[in-house]
Amino acid sequence: MSAAAAGATTPEDTMRGIAGGFVLGVPLVYTQEVWFHGGNLSPFDILGLLAASFLLNLALSTVVGFHAGRTKRPFEDAVVGFGLSFLISAFLLVLLRRVDLEMAFGPRLGIIALSAVPISLGFALGNSLAPREGGKLEEGSGGGFGDLLAAAGGAVVLVLNIAPTEEPLLLAAELGSIRLIGLVAVSLALSYVMVFFAEFGGKGGRINSNHPIHTPLVETVLAYLVALVVSAGLLRAFGELPAIDGSTLARSVVLAFPASLGAALGRLLV
């Protein structure tokens, strides 16, 4: 009996939840209010926030569950989802230099806990973020150009409310080259996972397609470049790219992180 048939969580289930967590959690992580308020939460508030988040996860796991078709083990799903969401939150905040070991434990825990709330909800709802059938890649849909256009549309939708804010500028100013390279790597890895591994749907059709863009590596890289161009274009439109220099690239890379997730979702829908 397969793992799925036995009701066990598969790697695809977990990665689908992780992808959903990133999609819903990253926009809030890019918010100064989360950094500020999370750092000022009292221990009682932190415990209450964690308890409320877990109960909400449990409720969502009962109704949906990140494992398609399985809602009979909601407690297990909630424990796995909430635990991994907390780790994802910590990873993101460390990567973006919002928390570090020099901070006091309380503020550090508060920021991580507050950021983990939307991530945990995305984890529980990961299976609902895109159809398991994915795009049908029908003839006449535009092929490679259509996919890149969908990627651009998804990128715009996800970062349009982030681009005009101060957060991308603040993050770009504080992140060194190592972390910026890390953002690029994580963006590419998550995009690949969402489209070609997490079983959101359409994977078989994309891999079996004769179109050269549907090679997993090529499509992932091209879609990221589209997200990067969209990010630079939005920043330029809002007057945040006064010149072409190192800071321009840094700002674009910072914004391209959430944009690449939107681009992946856009490709899943075509």
Q: Is residue 192 part of a domain?
A: yes
196 lies in some domain: yes
In a domain, 5, yes or no: no
Show which of 105, 128, 151 is a domain's final residue.
128
- Cα distance between residue 241 and residue 179, in whole Å: 20
Same domain, 22 and 116: yes
- Give residue 132's pLDDT: 54
Q: What letter represents residue 221's amino acid?
A: V
H helices of the chain, in order, are 11-29, 32-39, 43-63, 74-95, 105-124, 143-159, 167-174, 177-196, 203-208, 216-237, 246-268
Q: Decide which of 197 and 94 is more confident.
A: 94
Comparison of pLDDT for 176 and 243, the residue scoring more: 176
Q: For position 122, what pLDDT does the model report? A: 82
* Residue environment code for 3-39, b if the CB has 16+ CB neighbours within 10 A, otherwise e: eeeeeebeebbbbbbbbbbbbbbbbbbbbeebbeebb
**34 and 117 share a domain?**
yes
Q: Considering its fold, how many domains does the chain have in total?
A: 2
Q: Please write the tens of the pLDDT for every residue from 193-213.
A: 888 877 565 555 555 556 666
For residue 113, pLDDT beyond 80: yes
Per-residue pLDDT, 268: 79
Instruction: Classify residue 43: in a domain, yes or no.
Output: yes
* Residues of the domain holding 185: 143-268
Q: Is the pLDDT of residue 3 over 50?
A: no
Tell me: do 168 and 116 sit in the same domain: no
CA-wise closest residue to 144 among 215, 228, 199, 230: 215
Domain presence at residue 136? no
Q: Does 99 lie in the same domain as 150?
A: no
Specify whether 148 is located in the same domain as 94.
no
Residue of 213, 218, 228, 208 lying closest to 145 (CA atoms) = 213
